[in-house]
Chain A
Amino acid sequence: MRRTHILALLILLLTVFAAGTSQAITVAVSPGTITAGQSSTITIGSTFSGIPACTLDVSFGDGSSSSVGLGTCTSIIGATFVYSCTATVGHTYTSPGLKTIQVTHNPACSLLPAPPDPARTALTVNCPPLAVTTSASLPPSRAGEAYSAQVQASGGQAPYAYSIIGGSLPAGLSLSPSGFISGVPSIAGSYSFEIRVSDSCPAGSNSIQQTFTIVVSPPAPCSPLSIVTPSALPDARVGNPYAAQLQASGGQAPYTFSAPAEALPPGLNITAAGTITGMPSTAGTYQFPVIVADTCPAGPQTANKKFSIDIRPQPSLVTVTPVPSFFSIPRGQGSSAGVTHQFTGSPSTNDRIISPSGSFSVGNEIIDINAASLSALIRSGKGQVAETIIIPVRVIERALQRGTNRFTYERIFSDGGISAVSIINFTITTDAGAAFDIKRIGLSFDKGKAEATVERNHGNLRAYADIRFTGSGLLQGYWEVDGRILSTVNQHLKYGASVILQTPGIPPLPTFEPGSHSLRFVITNPEPAMALPSLVYFVTQDDAAGKPADLKLLSPVKDAAINYGPAYFEWEKPEKASFFLVQYFDRTDAGPFFSAYTNSPSYAVPDIILKKHFSPGSKYFWKVTGFDSGNNLIAESLFRDFSLR
C-alpha cells in the first residue's frame, strides 16, 4: 500500500508539473485483475482550484456505488490556489467479469474538478477454479436393474456442461448434459470413461476432465415363477360372455400367457396378458394347460398349470312352489313355520341353486331379512329343500304397525342363470284363530320341580306337561323315559289356550332301576319347531315303603246315620297289622279334628269325646290307617262319610 501511495503522488506531481496549472480526476485500480471474491483498491486523484466542499461518486462496475471524500488535498507547488487531492477506496468483487470503474464529482460539489470528469478505468474479475467433486469410482450396479448416479463439479461458474470425451458408459446407461448417469445396464463388466466438465465463467469458460469407473455385476436370479389363480375357474354358461383373469407371481414381469388353442373350450381364447375370454358354445367340463413366461434378466422362466372350467348349458325355466304356501300365526309372540320349497324344471335341468337370504315384506317394503342361506340340488328337473322359517315378534309388530295383518316371506333362488322366486303368505291373527301349533312346553314334577329324587319302587311319581298352543287340532305324542315309550296321547285341543297333561298311573314312571333317568313328552303332531325339553329323576337304591293295602271299612256303611252315642266303628284287620289310627274329619280336604289309636280293628268313641267333638245332625268323615309292629304304614282305607242322629 505504501508503495502505491508514493507512486500515486509521483504521478500526481508529474501530472501537475506537466500540466502546469491543469485540473483533472484520475482513477486507478490495483491489482488490475482479481478473482471473484477478492478485493481491489481504487485510487482516485482530483485537482481543484481551491479546496472545495465536494464528494466524489464512485461506480464500481458491478452495480454497486459509493460516495467518497476528496481525501488528502495538497497545494501544487508553482500553482497558485491549485490543490491536488487523493482518495482511496477498497471494494470486493463477487461476480466474475470485466468491470468498469467510474468516478465523477457529486453534483453538490462547490467547485468542479478539472476534466476528465468522469474518469474511468477497467478491472478484470476472474471465476474460481473449476473442480470435479464426485469420486472417480461411481457406485456399482447390477445388470438388469435400474441405475443412476450424479457427477458433480464445484468452482467456476454454473451452469456446468458434462460430456464424455473418452471411453464409454456401460450399455444401457447414458450421461445427460447435467452430469446425470442413468439407465438399466444390461452387460456385466467394469467400464471406465472420461468426462469433461465445462463451466460458464463470463471471464472465459473453464473446463476440467476426470476418468470414472462403473462396475456392473451380473443380474440377480429371479424368484420362482408360478400361476396363482385357482385351478377351478368360475363356471361359464353357453351363450354368455365369459372373462377370467389369470394371475402369476414370482419371476420378472411382464408375463406372457399362452395355451394350446385346441385345448381351450370352444369359443374361448387366452390373451398374452392372461385373460381367458370369449363366448362358450358347447356345454361340458373342460381341462386345459396354461403356460406363462416371464422376462427375468437372469434368463426367462416358464411355468404351467392345468385349469378346469364347467360350462353349463343354456338355462331352462325352473319354477318353485312352497308347500304349504300360507300360514296363520298368532300376534304378540314369535312363531316358526316349516315349509318345503319344491322345484320343477325341464328334465334336462341339473343344477344347484342358492338363495343367500330370505326377506319379509309388506307390499313392496322389506321389513326384515333372514340371513340364512339355502341351497337346493335339482336333478332331472326335480328338487326340493326344507326350511323352518323363524318369524320373530318384530316382524309381526312391524307389519301391524303398517296397518296390515298380512306379510310375505320371499326367497329368490338363482345360480346366475336360473332365477326362481318362492313366496309364502302369512296372516296374523289371534291365538284361537292361528294354525294349530305348539308355542311352549314346560315339564315338571310335583310342585313345579324339574328334578326329583325318589326311592326305588316309588309308585306315585307324576310328571306334568304344561303345553301352550295356538289354534285347534289333534295333539299326538307320547311320554318317553330313557328312550322307552311309556304311553301315547291322542287328544283334541281347542281355542288356542293351554293344557296340562299328566303321566298315567298305569304304567307308572319306572322306578325299579336305581340311577338317573330322563323323561320327555314327545309331540308328533303338530311337530314343534323347538327342541323338546326333558326332566331328570334319580332313583335311589333304597326301597320305598310298599303301597299300602286297601283297608276295608265294615261299619258304619257309607252315608250311614248312626246314633249319637255310643258311636262304634269297625273295619277289617289286614295281615301283619299291629295297631291302627282312626281319624275323624269335617271335610276330606282338611286335617282330622280327632284321632285315636287302637290295637283292635274297632273303636268306640267315648262319650266324653262324642260330646266334645261331635254334634248331632252333622256329617263327618272317617278313615283308618294300619301299621305293622315296625311302625310301617301297611294299609289305608278310603274316606267314608257318616252322620249322627
Chain B
Amino acid sequence: MIRRDSPSGNDVLMSDDHTSSLRYMRRLKISVAFFALLCCCTVPAAQGQEQTAAPGMQGEWVRVISPTETAEIVAQKPAFKIEFLRPFNIGTLVILLDGADITQISKVTETGIEFTPVMVIQAGTHTISLSATDKEGLQLQRNITFRSRHTKAFDEAYMSNEASLVYENVFGKPETVHTTPHSRLEGNLRVDTKIRDKGWQFTFNTNIRYLDQDIPVIRPFKKGFDAANWLFTGLYTKESLQLRTNIGDVQINETPYTVANFARKGGIFELVYDRFSFKAFSVMTEQVFGQRGGTGIEGNTDRHLLGVTGGVKLFDSKAELKAIYATGEDTGNSFNISGASGIKKGDVLGLVLNSDFFSNKMRTEFEADFSKFDPDLSDEFGSKQDKAYKIKAGGYLDSFSYEAMYEYVGRDYAAIGSQGLPRDREGFSMIGGTAVGAHAVNVALSRFHDNVRGDELFPRIDSYQGTVDYSLNSIPNLPLGINYQKSIQDSTREPSGTSPLEIDTDTLSGRVGYTRDKFMINAMAAYSLMNDKTQGNNDTTSVTYAVTPAYNAPGLSINPNLTLNQSKNHVSQVTTDTYTVNLDLRSRFFKERVSFDVGGTYLISKANNGSLDMRNLNANFRLSYNLQAFLKKIMKPSIGVRGTYIKITDRINPIANRDEFTLFLVLATVMPFSF
C-alpha cells in the first residue's frame, strides 16, 4: 500500500499498480479520443481552401484528387488521394493529418499518395500537410484543408445502443437460503446519443435498467424499469463563447472547502466567454438510486444545493480569480452515505485566486471561505458562522517537486457540499520530492492543532506528522520501496477533569515487485504501532503482510492474493490474526467460446483469547458457452451455469455457521445496435 498525503491533509490510500495509467476503451471511444488529438492540431482555415506553399516552393508539385477542396465531405472516414506532379525525394516525404504523422500508414507510390483513415474522423475542419525536398534540396510544402461531416443534416450524429439481458434460474439451493430468488431477470439498455452541427452539440447518455424476481428486492434495488443513470449535455461554442448545460447525473467539484466531488442528480449551466466564466447549479443533496425526484433541479434549498460560481482569468490565463457561493439543505443520509441524523442547512462563500506565472515552477493558490451552518434544524440553536483559509505554493524545479501549505479551518466551519471536511484545525504542511536516476525520495511534514479559538472548555491537541518515502528502480522489473511515517499527538491546556492525550504512531512499510512478461509478483509488509503514552496505555499494533502474484495472458488471467493482518491490543493482550486468501481467475477456451471465471475468498480469523475463531469461505464461479457463432452478429448470447458457495464455521458462535451452495442456470445476451 502506498500512503500519500493529499493537500487537504487527508490520507489517501492507493493500491500498488505497476501500470501508472491503464485504460480500457470501446472502438468508438478510441476513435473519438485519438482523433480528438488530431483535431487539436488542426489549423482552422476557410472551408476547402488551399494554403499557399511555404517559401522556397518552385511551382506545384502535387495535385489533390480528393478530397474535393471546395465541397464539404459527408463521410466518417474520408479518403484522400494526391498525385505527384514532379519527381522529388520520396524518402523525405512527411504527411501530417491534423498534425499527426501518417506517412508510414499511407500508401505512397512514385505517382502519388492514397490514404483512408482506419478510424472515424471527427467532423470538422482538417488539414493535410505535405512536406518533402526535391532533387535540388529545396523544401517542398503543401497544405490542404477540407471539411468533413458525418451526415448531411449534422456534422456528427449517432446513436449507439447496447441491450444486455441476463436470466437466472436456480438449479438447486439450500432451504435455509431465503434471500436468493428462484428466478431473476435483469436487463440494461445503454444509450449513447450525440448530435453535433457547427457550434451546437447535444449528447444524451443513459442506462435503463430492468429487474424482476420472484421475491422482494432489497433497497436500493426495485423491480420494473428504472433509469439507473442519465445525463443530457447541451453545448454551444462560437469563438470565445461557450455555453454548456448538463442535466441528470452531474458532478460539481469546486474546492474541498465549498463543494467537493459532489455527484448528484440535478443541473449545471455554464457560460465561458473569453476570460470570464460563470456557472449555476441546482442538485439534490440526497443521492438517489434510479429515477426519483425528477431532474433534480429546484429553485429552493429544500433538500437541494443551489450555487453559482464566477471566475475570470488574468494575465494571459496565468492567474484565475474565482468566487463560489452555495446554499442548501441536507439530511446527511443517502443510500451510499451514512452520517449523523438531523436536517442540516448551510451557506458557503469561497474566494479563490490561483496563479502560475512561472510555468509550473511555482503555482500559488489562495482561498478564503465563509460558512454559515446549522447541523440540526430541529433544535433551538440556529446556524453558526465561521471561516476557512488556505495558502498554498508548489511546483516543479527540474527533478524536484515541492509544495507548502498553510490551512485554517474554523471550529464551526462546514459546508453542505463538503461534509467530510475536517474542521477546527490550523497548521501547515510541506511536501518535497525528487527523482535522481533510479532513486526517488518524497518527504512530507505537517503540524496542525485543533481548538483554534482557544476555548478553555477544551484542550488543544497538537499533531505532528513526518513521512519519508523512498523508491528504487535501478534493477529492471524489480521496483523497491520503503515508507516510514511518524505521528505525534499531544494535548495541552487540558481543562480540569479532562484526561491528557499523548499518542505516538510509527508506521513502517516496504514494498517490492517483480515483473517478467506475463508474470508479476508484488509483496508488501507494513508494521504500525500506536503508542498511547497516557496512563491508559491503550497501545495497539497492526502488522500486515501481503503477497500478490499475478499471471495475465490472453485467455488466462490468474490473480491470487495472500494477506495476513495481525492486530494486537496491548492492554488486553489480545492478538487477532486474519489470514485472507483471494483468487481471481478468468480463462477463455476454444477460441474464446468457453469462458470460466472464478472469484473466491478464504478467510481465517482467530483471537488468542478464544473470543474469535472463524473460517469463512465464499466463492463464485461462472462457466458459459458463447453462442454468437450461431447467430452471426445480431446478438451475443451465451448459456452457462453460475454457482455461489458460502461456508462459515464459527467455533465460538456455532449458530452463525453456514454451508450453502447455490447453482444457477444463466442465459445472457447482449445486442449492440447503432444508428
Tally of contact residues, B, Cβ under 8 A = 152
**Contact A444 to B263, CB < 8 A, known contacts A453-B188, A474-B542, A639-B20:** yes
- Whether A596 pairs with B162 at a CB distance below 8 angstroms is no
Per-position contact with A for B442-477: 1 when CB-CB < 8 Å, else 0? Answer: 000000101100000111010101000000000000
Q: Which of A433, A502, A631 is close to B15, meaning CB atoms less than 8 Å apart?
A: A502
Give the distance in Å from the alpha carbon of A3 to the alpha carbon of B478 in the complex.
166
Q: Is the CB of A393 within 8 A of B37?
A: no
Closest to B104 in A: A598
Q: Which of A334, A441, A488, A559 has the most CB of B within 10 A?
A: A488
For B256-274 the 0/1 string (1 means CB < 8 A from A) is 0000011100000000000
From B579, which residue of chain A is reached at the shortest CB distance? A488
Partner of B337, one of A441, A500, A600: A441
Which B residues between 88 and 121 are near A, CB-CB below 8 angstroms?
92, 94, 99-105, 118-119
Tell whether, in the assembled complex, residue B337 and residue A599 are in contact, meaning their CB atoms are under 8 Å apart. no
A550 contacts which chain B residues (CB < 8 A)?
Answer: 19, 515
CB-defined contacts of A490 to chain B, threshold 8 Å:
542, 544, 565-567, 578
Taking the nearest CB of chain B, how far is it from the CB of A496, in angstroms?
7
- Does the CB pair B338–A597 fall under 8 Å? no
Given contacts A451-B229, A538-B209, A599-B105, contact A427 B498 (CB under 8 A): yes
* Smallest beta-carbon distance A400→chain B, Å: 7
The interface residues of chain A lying within 8 Å CB-to-CB of B567 are: 474, 476, 490
| Complex interface: chain A residues within 8 A of B101 (CB) | 594-597, 603, 606, 609
B584 within 8 A of A: yes
A631 touches B102 (CB 8 A): no
- Which residues from A are CB-within-8-Å of B16? 505
Contact status A633-B30, CB under 8 Å = yes
Residue from the list B338, B497, B515 in contact with A440, Cβ < 8 A:
B338
A449 touching B249, Cβ below 8 Å: yes
Cβ contact within 8 Å between A595 and B11: no
Which residues from chain B contact A406 at a C-beta distance below 8 Å? 497
Contact pattern, A 293-315, Cβ under 8 Å of B = 1, otherwise 0 = 00000000000000000000000
Cα(A405)–Cα(B496), bound, Å: 10
Please judge, given known A-B contacts A453-B207, A533-B336, whether A597 and B100 are in contact too, CB under 8 Å. yes
A334 adjacent to B341 (CB under 8 Å): yes
| Nearest CB on B from A175, distance (A) | 74
Q: A514, B668: Cβ atoms under 8 Å?
A: yes
User: Chain A nearest CB: distance from B19 CB in Å?
Assistant: 7
**Nearest B residue (CB) for A576:** B554
Interface presence of A486 (CB below 8 A): yes
Task: Please give, as numbers and ranges, the residues of chain A lying within 8 Å of B420 by CB-CB distance.
Answer: 440, 442, 466, 468, 498
CA distance A443 to B221 in the complex (A): 17
Tell me whether B131 is interfacial, beta carbon within 8 Å: yes
Complexed CA–CA distance, A493 and B3 (Å):
12
CA distance A499 to B164 in the complex (A): 37
Given contacts A394-B381, A608-B94, contact A440 B339 (CB under 8 A): yes
A608 to B101, CA, bound (A): 11
Q: For A530, what are the chain B residues with a Cβ–Cβ distance below 8 Å?
A: 338-340
Are the CB atoms of B638 and A541 closer together than 8 Å?
Answer: yes
A332 to B119, CA, bound (A): 58
Closest beta carbon of chain A to B22's beta carbon, Å: 6
Interface residues of B in 336-380 (CB under 8 A from A): 336-342, 360, 375-376, 378-380
Q: How far is A335 from B21 in the complex, measured between Cα atoms in Å?
A: 41
Residues of B near A536 (CB, < 8 A) are 220-221, 289
Closest Cβ neighbor of B449 among chain A residues: A432
In the complex, what residue of chain A is closest to B384 when comparing beta carbons?
Answer: A332
Residues of chain B lying within 8 A (CB to CB) of residue A512:
586, 595, 597, 599, 622
Contact B94 A609 (CB under 8 A): yes
Q: Say whether B459 contacts A430, CB under 8 Å.
A: yes
The answer to whether the Cβ of A247 comes within 8 Å of any Cβ in the partner chain is: no
The smallest beta-carbon distance between A23 and chain B, in angstroms, is 111
When C-beta atoms are compared, the residue in chain B nearest to A397 turns out to be: B381
Q: Are A405 and B554 in contact (CB under 8 A)?
A: no
Chain B residues with Cβ below 8 Å from A544 are: 24
A472 within 8 A of B: yes
Q: Using Cβ atoms and an 8 Å threshold, which residues of chain B touch A432?
A: 450, 461, 463, 489, 501
CB-based contact B335/A450 at 8 Å: yes
Q: Does A431 contact B (CB under 8 A)?
A: yes
- Given A506-B559, A609-B94, A631-B118, do A540 and B565 touch, yes or no (CB 8 Å)? no
Query: Which residues from chain B contact A592 at a C-beta distance below 8 Å?
Result: 37
B601 contact set on A, CB distance < 8 A: 484-486, 507
Most chain B CB inside 10 Å of its own CB: which residue of A397, A468, A491, A528? A491
C-alpha gap A533/B336 in the complex (Å): 5
Cα–Cα, bound, A427→B497 (Å): 9
CB proximity of B556 to chain A, nearest CB, Å: 11
Q: Could you tell me the distance between the alpha carbons of A599 and B20 in the complex, rounded to whole angstroms?
A: 26
B379:A397 contact, CB within 8 angstroms: yes
A3 to B528, CA, bound (A): 150
Residues of A within 8 A of B19 (CB): 550, 636, 638
The interface bits of chain A over 75-100 (1 if a CB of B lies within 8 angstroms of the residue's CB, else 0) are 00000000000000000000000000
Given B105, B339, B450, which contacts A439 in the complex, CB threshold below 8 Å? B339
Tell me whether A333 and B457 are in contact (CB under 8 A): no
3 tightest CB-CB pairs across the interface, nearest first?
Answer: A448-B263, A394-B379, A596-B101
- Give chain A's interface residues, CB within 8 Å of chain B: 331-335, 390, 392-394, 397, 400, 403-406, 427-433, 439-444, 447-451, 453, 455, 457-460, 466, 468, 472-474, 476, 482-488, 490-508, 510, 512-516, 528, 530-536, 538, 540-542, 544-550, 559, 579, 581, 583, 587-588, 591-592, 594-600, 603, 606, 608-609, 630-633, 636, 638-639
Q: Return 13 A-B CB contacts under 8 Å, by A number.
A: A431-B422, A442-B337, A449-B251, A460-B22, A474-B567, A486-B582, A494-B463, A498-B420, A504-B15, A505-B15, A512-B586, A515-B186, A606-B101
13 more contacts with CB within 8 A, not counting A404-B457, A430-B461, are: A392-B376, A427-B497, A440-B419, A447-B261, A466-B420, A500-B11, A505-B16, A512-B595, A513-B597, A538-B209, A545-B24, A597-B104, A633-B25
